[in-house]
């Protein structure tokens, strides 16, 4: 007995019927929407009027609500008694709802005489840079109209330019750095000094947008940040630059701030960090902040090449394996770090080959924090010892697999004394303090899209993680708690973050346990 085949759905003409059905449904929906559009407008307007009435009622003083209700009731009674009053009232309500519910196009305010003069002066200043003699119809010409090239602009209450969007001719060499720099410097000069500006170039549409940036807040201090293991908060940036916020405490209040989070670990694309800056720019503060966060989940060795004692508060704490500032001790610590990296690498490789999890003794991250390695190199060379930077090559090259993270801080004028291996393996970069565009580009790998600020507070600079964009950065205030000039509030904040002394937790638990154990009789 043969198998019966399953019946098939006839497809002859089916595709055409489905397409015709979709078109009929779409046409019916559009026709219905067009028919009911006046009702939608009236409903939206009535909703807006009702919301405005509720807001007015809430803002109204309590002593005026009774007379207002009496006046409203009297008006309703009068409308009800007047011939054709209710229909006329309904018509007025419909007309008011239609007027309030209409779609309003945003109108740009016309600039006053002073603002028009400033825009015209800016237009005239751009003529030598954005015009060519062979152009038959130039966008920029002396005596021309600025409204033809400035698509948008805004001024603040003080009459200063806060945003500007302009068009430039297609033959302008917007792909060349010097040409861009000339335009940016001119716009910054004409828009007003003392502020930071961001320049967004749209090469495809030949548009340039200038935006005045508000200064980053400097009141965020050292505190416990809500992050996952392997995440370190370098500082805080503009809200539009990142898609994440963290709750921070500023004074007595708590608010959300956009952080610059650096991720380390075996899957990190930039496992090591290099911070450059001038003296007093906050490089040591950044390294101290990173070390305090790293000690929550790992161990650390700290080498202070400057010998300032800025890390003395960490000496002897739980998880801090060493804090050294002399060349012989730093070399001994780095030699141990090299052997430890090799040991961790061999153990991880052996476990992976045998399909086993990594041993417990290599799971805890190890951090190597080196402040001013160039100074240590000079001291070692003067004593005829090995260069400490050579010992950093093994942790830099194999640290990601071995769970070893290297954090280096150096002065900007001594960046040329750092080795090529260190530059090649530090994908996370930070540049703090005042710096020219060339210095910032050399430190970060690319020039930032914002102009440097004239008044640079400590901890203010830029950060770039791998090939990502350049972010403005404000490092949380993490001063040395042993410094006499440190404010009391900041000192207490840093002391609360310091790890405990070895054995302190066990002693406290034992004391608490002795107090809780019941007395048992024999």
What secondary structure does DSSP assign to 291-315, as a single string? HHHHTTTSEEEEEETT---TTGGGT
Q: Which helix (H) or strand (E) holds 209?
A: strand 207-213
Q: Which of 308, 302, 337 is nearest to 320 (CA)?
A: 302
d(CA 171, CA 165): 18
Q: Which of 365, 409, 370, 411 is nearest to 388 (CA)?
A: 370
pLDDT at 109: 61
pLDDT at 72: 85
Owner of token pair 């015709």:
20
pLDDT at 346: 94
pLDDT at 465: 95
The rounded Cα 11 to chain-centroid distance in angstroms is 56
- CA of 16: how far to CAs of 12, 24, 27, 475, in Å? 9, 12, 16, 64
Q: Which of 445, 480, 481, 479 is nearest to 462 (CA)?
A: 445
pLDDT at 520: 36
The rounded average pLDDT for each run of 10 residues, N- to C-terminus, in the chain (522 residues) is 47 55 73 78 83 79 81 86 84 83 61 86 92 89 89 86 92 89 90 87 92 90 93 94 91 91 92 94 95 95 92 94 94 96 94 89 94 94 93 94 95 92 94 88 89 84 94 95 92 94 62 42 33
pLDDT at 506: 52
DSSP H helical ranges for 361-463: 373-382, 388-391, 393-402, 420-425, 437-444
pLDDT at 308: 86
d(CA 45, CA 50): 9
pTM, entire model: 0.74
Beta bridge partners of 255: 248
pLDDT at 489: 93
| DSSP code per residue over 46-58 | HHHHHHHHHHHHH
Owner of token pair 């010992």:
391
Residues whose CB is less than 8 angstroms from the CB of residue 104 and which lie 6 or more positions away in sequence, other chains included: none
**Collapsed DSSP state (helix, strand, coil) of residue 438:** helix
Residues whose CB is less than 8 angstroms from the CB of residue 349 and which lie 6 or more positions away in sequence, other chains included: none
């Amino acid at each position: 007995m043969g198998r019966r085949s399953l019946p098939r759905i006839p497809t002859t003409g089916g595709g055409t019927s489905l397409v015709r059905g979709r078109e009929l449904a779409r046409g019916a929906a559009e026709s219905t929407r067009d028919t009911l559009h006046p009702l939608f407008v009236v409903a939206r307007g009535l909703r807006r009027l009702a919301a405005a009435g509720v807001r007015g009622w809430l803002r109204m003083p309590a002593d005026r609500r009774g007379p207002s209700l009496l006046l409203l009731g009297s008006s309703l009674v009068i409308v009800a008694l007047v011939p054709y009053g209710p229909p006329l009232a309904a018509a007025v309500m419909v007309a008011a709802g239609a007027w309030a519910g209409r779609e309003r196009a945003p109108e740009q305010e016309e600039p006053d005489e002073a603002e028009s003069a400033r825009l015209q002066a800016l237009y005239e200043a751009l003529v030598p840079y954005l015009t060519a003699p062979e152009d038959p119809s130039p966008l920029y010409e002396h005596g021309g109209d600025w409204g033809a090239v400035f698509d948008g602009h805004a001024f603040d209450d003080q009459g200063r330019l806060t945003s500007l969007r302009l068009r430039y001719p297609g033959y302008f060499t917007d792909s060349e750095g010097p040409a861009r720099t000339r335009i940016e410097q001119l716009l910054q000069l004409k828009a007003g000094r003392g502020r930071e500006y961001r320049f967004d170039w749209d090469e495809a549409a030949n548009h340039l947008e200038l935006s005045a940036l508000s200064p980053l807040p400097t009141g965020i201090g050292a505190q416990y940040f809500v992050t996952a293991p392997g995440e370190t908060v370098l500082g805080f940036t503009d809200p539009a630059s990142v898609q994440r916020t963290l709750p921070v405490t500023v004074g007595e209040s708590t608010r959300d701030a956009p952080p610059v989070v650096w991720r380390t670990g075996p899957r990190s694309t930039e496992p090591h960090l290099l911070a450059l800056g001038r003296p007093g720019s906050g490089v040591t503060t950044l390294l101290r902040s990173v070390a305090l966060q790293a000690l929550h989940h790992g161990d650390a060795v700290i080498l202070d090449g400057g010998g300032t004692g800025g890390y003395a508060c960490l000496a002897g704490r739980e998880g801090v394996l060493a804090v050294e500032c002399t060349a012989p001790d730093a070399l001994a610590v780095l030699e141990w770090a090299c052997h430890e990296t090799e040991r961790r690498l061999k153990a991880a490789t052996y476990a992976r080959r045998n399909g086993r999890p990594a041993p417990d003794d290599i799971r805890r991250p190890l951090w190597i924090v080196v402040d001013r390695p160039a100074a240590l190199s000079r001291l070692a060379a003067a004593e005829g010892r090995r260069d400490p930077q050579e010992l950093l090559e093994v942790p830099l090259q194999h640290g990601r697999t071995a769970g070893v993270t290297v954090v280096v801080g150096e002065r900007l004028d001594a960046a040329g004394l750092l080795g090529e291996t260190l530059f090649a393996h530090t994908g996370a970069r930070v540049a703090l303090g005042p710096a020219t565009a060339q210095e910032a580009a050399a430190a970060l790998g690319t020039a930032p899209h914002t102009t440097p600020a004239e008044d640079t507070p400590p901890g203010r600079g830029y950060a770039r993680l791998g090939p990502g964009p350049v972010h403005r950065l404000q490092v949380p205030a993490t001063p040395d708690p042993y410094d006499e000039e440190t404010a009391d509030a900041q000192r207490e904040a840093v002391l609360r973050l310091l790890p405990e002394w070895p054995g302190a937790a066990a002693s406290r638990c034992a004391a608490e346990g002795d107090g809780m154990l019941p007395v048992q009789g024999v």
